[in-house]
Structure 1
Amino acid sequence: MAGWLIVADDLTGAADCAIAFGRRGRAAAVTWGEDASDRRLPVLAYDAASRGLSAEDAARRHTHVLARLARPRRRLFKKIDSTLRGQPAAETAATMAHLAQSGPAFGVFAPAFPATGRTTVSGRILVQGRPLEQAEVWQRDHTYPTADLAEVLGTAGVRSEKLALSTVRGTELKGTLARLAAEGNIVGICDAETEHDLHLIAAASSDVSPAPFFIGSAGLAHALAGIEAEETGETLRIPASACGTLIVVGSLAGASRSAARELQASGTVRHFPVAPEMLLGQDDDARAALATDVTAHLGQGRDALVEITMNDHPDMRLGAQLANALADALQTVAPALGAFAATGGETAAALLARFGVNGIRLADEIEPGVSLGLTLGQIAVPIATKAGAFGDAHSLIRISERLRAIRTRGSFS
């Protein structure tokens, strides 16, 4: 089987795509930065950290990443946000331009992730059956004026053709994909309402020539991994730890906030609320006291929930600044970590960088969109990452329980 290179715009997305292959026995890891670790693994996911960039800068970063990491024997998966945050059009255009250096490029675009309520009908994304434009995530953060995927790609000059559900579920899917592949320099936008629809797309694409690259979210990654033969993967093991789990909620999504409230109410963690003003202000003593208190709590074998508190109308422009400020404040906590979890790719990436982590060896998926692995670099602890809008009110409780079991027994099985 050929290997895979997954290029994502944030950390949680890189992880939830790579684990689609990892949970079926293929060794998989997520990495970032200039020193990409574990390049020889069959499945390498790279966090380009481009979601907050302009279209031009995101395209430039993807061009650089592909020049460094793309190889002939690795099939390419361009991971995008399932609700079109960031710059998926510019990144797709950059990917096609890179591939076109060796011949016409053909992309299969299927962003649906049915397990999390994201589907695609008539070339438009729906969230829980409603147009993406009506969803909470779109109201908080969107790049494009519409969720029509052909129009989105068109903003970056990418030519496309929509493949309706009737085509995906009919007898002409493979022939249609073959026609588009022969035409070249085009993207086929595939409707999908169910995981079976995604499986049909993956199967029909498997032997199209010239081979396509794929654009989508973890739903498509699972479908592609599912048509490959499963392998028997190794069980990751670590020394058991007496230290507690640090759980950080930096995402503004309602799903993460409600999950934090449920975890706090469970009585299994100590809640450390952190005001944005404390992180962005001049109170060095308060930030040092936070790190000291969290370190002491973890050192006693207890779990800590650190949450950036927000009002009902948060300033979206402060997201990266807050994540980095919190990471700076908690940098000294690393030696007391027994395990780590974070919601929101930006938050997770900032903290891991301060902890001296340069990658994650993936082991399992706790639930759709929640990846489990082992950190690589200066510390080796179990880690769970979750996109902010994924999951339900009890997701953080399930994550906390799973990480506690792993760190106390020293095994991911």
Structure 2
Amino acid sequence: MSGGGRAGHGVLVVADDLTGANATAAAFARTGLRAVTLGADQPPDAAAEFASRFDVVVVSTDARHSPPEHAAARMRDLVRAAGPRALVSNRVDSTLRGNLGATTAAALAAVRETTGRRAVALCAPAHPEARRLTVQGCQLLDGVRLEETELARDPRSPLPTSDVAALLRRQAELRTAHLPLAAVTGTDGGGPRAHVARALADGAEVLIADALTTEHLDRAAAAAVREGGDDLVWVGVDPGPGSVALARALGLTRHTAGAPVLAVSGSATRLTRLQLARLRAEFPVTVVRMPAAPSSAPAPGETEAALDAALAAAGPEDVVLLATVLDDADVVERIGPEDAERLPRVLARTVRRALERHTVDGLFATGGDVAAALFAELSARGLDVEEELVPLAVAGTFVGGPWAGLPVVTKGGLVGDAGTTVACVSHLRRAAAVARRHVRAAEAGGAPHTAHTRHAPHIPHIPQEEAS
């Protein structure tokens, strides 16, 4: 059974402290999603405001040690304000301190209210990288039950037990079921999907999953989503990794290996031809031609289709080159002023239509008229300048418009030496690698800071993969 009751777009994570919120946002960012964290001082409506610009909104309530009714009210307010989301997550402490039951019950009630569907929590509290594991429904810290650690004497949130179900029921009447490790690993003969199906049929509100590894979390999440059906919405309850696994199972995450660089050349200079030849020698380059002479121009839409196909097929290490001139045979001795003015606009329009369908890690433009046309066509209000790579070759990111934050390098057709274009594309590759390690933050007034963010204008609909 495919589908998982996808109720909206994007991810809302409600965390009970800021450090946990930041860590969870970083985990989502590593999957290729744009993530932002909001502090506890932000009003509930801020979650909806930021959801229109970010894939993942993580809100800290700072309510770990608050009275349970306060933590629950904050959860309800945030989920209601954000509206239907593809995934809502209750980010809890990895050692389960705080208001686990109250916030889980509030999240489930609010999701049912906003979606009109059955809501079930996948409580997968393991954080394998931090040595927090879940075995037989109990949470272990470095292999030790919580009640046998100093957390049992925590002055604000003492933990009398490591039994996850018991901790949930301390604050809420929730019907729980257990997904044991043998089911997660498939060693019990039935596999995780059979256990999930039985739990759902028995009316479970919370499914507690054992896990020793990240792969176990992925297995549990995949089984939950595949058995849930379209009339059910899953809610994450975990310290972060479990909700990321749910997002993967729901098809919300992106590939993180990167995307191709798009290079656009409208220059016919001998230096440009030399630079493009060097580029093709040092990078895997797919060339899409757009002849400068009207008599040689392809049929309307032909270049757009070719660029679309090239970007669709390109890997993360590839360069897709849209160029008017590659070698001496392409040079047109005379071109009229009308054609000279038209060509940059046609190149820019072709690029815009391609970028509406494909993500790139950077945009390189050679030729002043081409760069200006690209800025206009892509609705960029300016360039956040990073550095001048060589004289008259400038690197930065778009400011404003749908592609704000996209790394860009522009240079003139007579700028640099034979290796300059290679250096420009190499810079875009490095910038993209850095951007993928950063989480998008918010500026004062709610505007997203995008100077170090790899741009992806929207989350495409990704059909859920069938079980292998």
Partner of 2:70: 57
Per-residue deviation, 1:193: 0.9
Deviates more, 1:51-60 or 1:115-124: 51-60
Secondary structure of the structure 1 residue equivalent to 2:98? coil
- Contact 1:125 1:132 (8 Å CA) reproduced: yes
State which of 223, 231, 237 in structure 1 corresponds to 2:245. Answer: 223
* Residues 97-116 of structure 1: CA deviation (Å, up to 9, x unaligned): 22343243211110000000
Change (3 A) 1:128 1:234: farther
Percent of matched pairs sharing the same residue? 30
Q: Distance in 1 between matches of 2:62 and 2:151?
A: 19
1:374–1:58 CA distance, 2 compared to 1 (3 A): closer
User: 2:226 matched to 1:212?
Assistant: no
The equivalent of 2:195 in structure 1 is 176
Q: Say if 1:375 and 1:104 are closer, same or farther in 2 by CA, change over 3 A.
A: closer
Instruction: Evaluate the alpha carbon distance shift between residue 185 and residue 379 of structure 1 in structure 2; reply closer, same or farther with a 3 A threshold.
Output: closer
Deviation at 1:182, TM superposition (A): 4.0
Q: Match of 1:130, as an amino acid?
A: V
**Is 1:43 aligned to 2:110, yes or no?**
no
Cα offsets for 1:127-158 (capped at 9, x unmatched): 11111223345543534421211111111111
Deviation at 1:53, TM superposition (A): 0.6
Deviation at residue 91 of structure 1 after TM alignment: 0.3
Note the aligned Cα RMSD (angstroms): 3.3
* 1:95 aligned residue (87, 93, 107): 107
Amino acid paired to 2:139: I
Q: How far does the alpha carbon of each residue in 1:39-93 deviate from its partner, in whole angstroms, 9 at most, with x for none? A: 212222121221121111111111111111131x421111111111211111001
Greater relative contact order, per chain length (Cα 8 Å cut-off, separation 6+):
1
Contact 1:235/1:411 (CA < 8 Å) preserved in 2?
A: no
Where does the alignment leave 5 or more consecutive residues of structure 1 unmatched?
A: 242-361, 366-370, 383-409
Note closer, same or farther for the CA distance 1:381–1:183 as it changes in structure 2 (3 Å cut). Answer: closer
Find the residue that maps to 2:11 and give its secondary structure: strand
The 5 A counterparts of 1:168-317 are: 168-170=184-186, 171-184=190-203, 186-207=205-226, 208-209=228-229, 210-227=232-249, 228=251, 230-231=254-255
- 8 Å CA contact 1:106–1:180 kept in 2: the answer is no
SS of residue matched to 2:50:
coil
**CA deviations over 1:193-213 (Å, ceiling 9, x no partner):** 111111111211223222321
SS of the equivalent of 2:233 reads coil
Q: What's the offset of the Cα at 1:183?
A: 4.1
The answer to whether residue 119 in structure 2 is matched with residue 105 in structure 1 is yes
8 Å contact from structure 1 (residues 48, 65) kept in 2 = no
Q: 1:81 to 1:238 in 2, by over 3 A?
A: farther
Does 2:179 correspond to 1:163?
yes
What is the Cα deviation at residue 189 of structure 1?
0.7
Change (3 A) 1:379 1:138: farther
User: Would the aligned equivalents of 1:60 and 1:94 in 2 still touch at CA under 8 Å?
Assistant: yes
CA contact (8 A) 1:13 1:79 kept: yes
SS of the residue aligned with 2:51? coil
Q: What letter is aligned with 1:146?
A: T
CA distance in 1, matches of 2:435, 2:62: 22
Shift of 1:376: 2.2
For the residue of structure 2 that corresponds to 1:211, the secondary structure is: strand
Mapped partners of 2:442, 2:95: distance in 1: 28
SS in 2 for 1:150: helix
Counterpart CA distance in 2 for 1:12 and 1:235 is 29
- Distance across 1 between alignment mates of 2:105 and 2:448: 37
* 1:303 matched residue in structure 2: none
Instruction: Give the structure 1 partner of residue 444 of structure 2.
Output: 377
Shift of 1:16: 1.9
Question: Is 2:35–2:440's contact at 8 Å kept on the other side of the alignment?
Answer: no
Structure-2 change in CA distance of 1:127 and 1:157 (3 Å):
same
Separation in structure 2 between the aligned mates of residue 186 and residue 39 of structure 1, nearest angstrom: 27
- From 4, 20, 23, give the equivalent of 2:27: 20
Distance 1:94 1:31, change over 3 A: same
Q: Residues 61-140 of structure 1 correspond to what in structure 2 (within 5 A)?
A: 61-71=74-84, 73-101=85-113, 102-140=116-154
Q: Larger Cα Rg: Structure 1 or Structure 2?
A: 2
Residue identity matched to 1:219: P
Paired residues of 2:16 and 2:62 also in contact (CA < 8 A): yes
State the number of aligned residues: 261
1:15 and 1:30 in contact (8 A); partners too: yes
SS in 2 for 1:46: strand
Q: Secondary structure at the match of 1:175?
A: helix
One-letter amino acid of the structure 1 residue matched with residue 21 of structure 2: A
Structure 1 consecutive aligned stretches of length 4 or more whose deviation exceeds 4 Å: 231-241, 362-365, 378-382, 410-413
Find the aligned partners of 1:93 and 1:30 in 2 and give their Cα distance.
Answer: 23
The 2-side partners of 1:139 and 1:238 are apart by 51
Inter-CA distance 180–234: structure 2 relative to 1 (3 Å threshold): farther
- Opposite residue 230 of structure 1, the aligned amino acid is R
CA distance in 2, matches of 1:107, 1:381: 31
In structure 1, C-alpha distance between the alignment counterparts of 2:222 and 2:82, rounded to whole Å: 26
Deviations 1:219-250 (A, max 9, x none): 21342344445245787997779xxxxxxxxx
